[in-house]
A and B are shown apart, each in its own frame.
Chain A
């Protein structure tokens, strides 16, 4: 399970990027902390940095540095199959994010606010997609879609539905966890106060719940987006020949040879992920500035 989930662990670390920076600042005072921090950083980021550097390598073979070039980026951006895969990935990730947010928020509210029989069982079942190895979920989907005879000849955006369903299933529990954690410290009396001042149910959602949940919606949405964007295992079992995503495409390119073009494509994936994380951190900071307590 651990090895299958490794990409997610990396993502959580990225989410903690902001804290990392402050850790660096505080460690400047303590040399031992400095050293351990340095080793950790090296360990985490050296492979990524090497990958990015070698995407600019002017060589067919990706072992020796031969000089700087952008030609593999040019090559990549003229590779239509690669671009199509990239577009597929983005569309899937965006729709998955929206679906996961809706499902995740509803689940979180259900678990937080209501009491019903077998609640703890339900609570455990919601978390199953987080715990079960991805490979199992992938195979389960493969079998399931075959069994119900899901049509495989749909036109383009609809043909992605299979992957989107599968991604939403394993992404929404993450949203639910993040949102529920935030719901716990919602002051009940704020809701009552709003009602007391004349708010109806819609006003309460708009003025009390939404602003309170905003940071967790950003964090949860981002988690879903990046999980979906670079998912390989589940996508591998649910995509057809017409619906290639970027990670699948990169994988198939590697099977021929590891050219710098592969590095370039991977770099783009990394940049998109890091950019979205930074956006989220920025949005959260803005939110904090506006005075919401943590």
Chain B
């Protein structure tokens, strides 16, 4: 792979002594749909504004296509932004909004017309060019904002929570629309969002951010399967977490003693743990199963097992969620999620009954406790 299109080096920003972004290092490759995911107030919008040049970094550099952007003001960076509020100019028609940047560049009216028409085609707004912003719906305004950025043919398009203001149904459509447009024109997108579903389904690569720091950068599936810490595990999907200490390390396998349950479990592990390291065992709810009586107890599906009492069954349609409490009432109940496709799960369990919860060797992720 050649040099990255964008690289952020030690980028930091503090507002009156409060650090919003702390030493962020990131690289984004050309043509990627890159996501920055984090809870609100984690500094992700500030990070985006520093790339756009709308916010001055306190330290660090933004490098785009090999050029240090520090001395380049926002209006001369090869970057365009789709703002959270869309920031459509209210006193300009749709056409004037889209062509605004090109007019400032001094593009002649012939080429201007052609490019605007092409762009209207891309974002599916043909025939609306004479409309005023107050005559457009939220989804259409969003397309205008996107078109206004794309028409500049920037190296990168930055999107700040572009779907947050849309209703649920429209958001679902726009999600795929955005991905489709991005793949079609091949411009690099960097999108900021707080919605993990959005991030997982749209992006090629995701940087998870919390409290101004990058927590993990990975492809969506790895982020979900192999979270590097509890924050990432909890933020992306839901997770069960058990505390323990490493008891024995074999080749590729780690035995963990769960202190609260006084029980040992085994997990695959690629991290190099040492005996007596404190670890968190993170297991996704859908990787937990209830013990199948027909299987022998040393079967790989049931190699790890804990027992508890069924507290609650929540029916969601396609799946059901079960909450399993331990004898020790201080422990958080386990969350088990099961597909409602076999008769057994539907009828077999009663609230208050005793259950054995099992998981496979590769189901759990071990995370060191710092």
Q: Which residues of A line the B interface, CB within 8 A?
A: 187, 189-190, 192-200, 203, 207-208, 211-212, 290-293
Contact = CB atoms under 8 A, between A and B. Distances in A.
Given A192-B83, A212-B91, A197 B52 contact: no
B75 interface: yes
B133 interface: yes
A208 B54 CA distance: 16
A19 to B, nearest CB: 21
A192 B49 CA distance: 10
B75 A292 contact: no
Contacts of B101: 197-198
A158 to B, nearest CB: 40
B330 to A, nearest CB: 47
B75 A196 contact: yes
A85 B152 CA distance: 58
A192 B91 contact: no
A197 B54 contact: no
B148 to A, nearest CB: 7
Given A190-B89, A197-B152, A198-B105, 10 more contacts: A187-B85, A187-B87, A189-B84, A189-B87, A192-B54, A194-B100, A196-B54, A198-B152, A211-B91, A291-B135
In the complex, the 9 A-B pairs of residues with the closest C-beta atoms, listed nearest first = A291-B132, A197-B101, A189-B87, A193-B87, A211-B91, A189-B83, A198-B104, A195-B74, A190-B87
Nearest to A214: B91
Nearest to A186: B90
Contacts of B148: 193, 197
B81 interface: yes
Interface in B317-339: none
B69 to A, nearest CB: 13
Contact of A291 (B74, B93, B104): B93
A207 B90 CA distance: 11
Contacts of A196: 52, 54, 74-75, 79-81, 149
19 contacts: A187-B85, A187-B87, A187-B90, A190-B88, A192-B83, A193-B83, A195-B75, A196-B75, A196-B149, A197-B80, A197-B152, A198-B104, A207-B89, A207-B100, A208-B89, A211-B89, A211-B91, A291-B133, A293-B134
B161 to A, nearest CB: 12
B76 interface: yes
Nearest to A191: B87
Contacts of A199: 75, 104
Nearest to B131: A291
Nearest to A196: B81
B82 to A, nearest CB: 9
Contacts of A187: 85, 87, 90
Contacts of B73: 195
Q: Is chain A's binding surface mostly helix, strand, loop or mixed? A: helix
Question: Which among A196, A211, A290 has the greatest number of chain B C-beta atoms within 10 A?
Answer: A196
Contact of B76 (A198, A211, A212, A290): A198
B52 to A, nearest CB: 6
A195 B104 contact: no
Nearest to B106: A198
Interface string B254-279: 00000000000000000000000000
Contacts of B93: 291
B56 to A, nearest CB: 13
Interface string B100-140: 11001100000000000000000000000000111100000
A187 B89 CA distance: 9
Contact of B91 (A193, A195, A200, A290): A290
Greatest chain B CB density within 10 A among A198, A211, A290, A291 is at A198
Contacts of B86: 189
A26 to B, nearest CB: 23
A194 B104 CA distance: 10
Contacts of A212: 90-91
B64 to A, nearest CB: 14
B196 to A, nearest CB: 25
Interface in B46-74: 49, 52, 54, 73-74
A191 to B, nearest CB: 8
Contacts of B74: 192, 195-196
Nearest to B54: A192
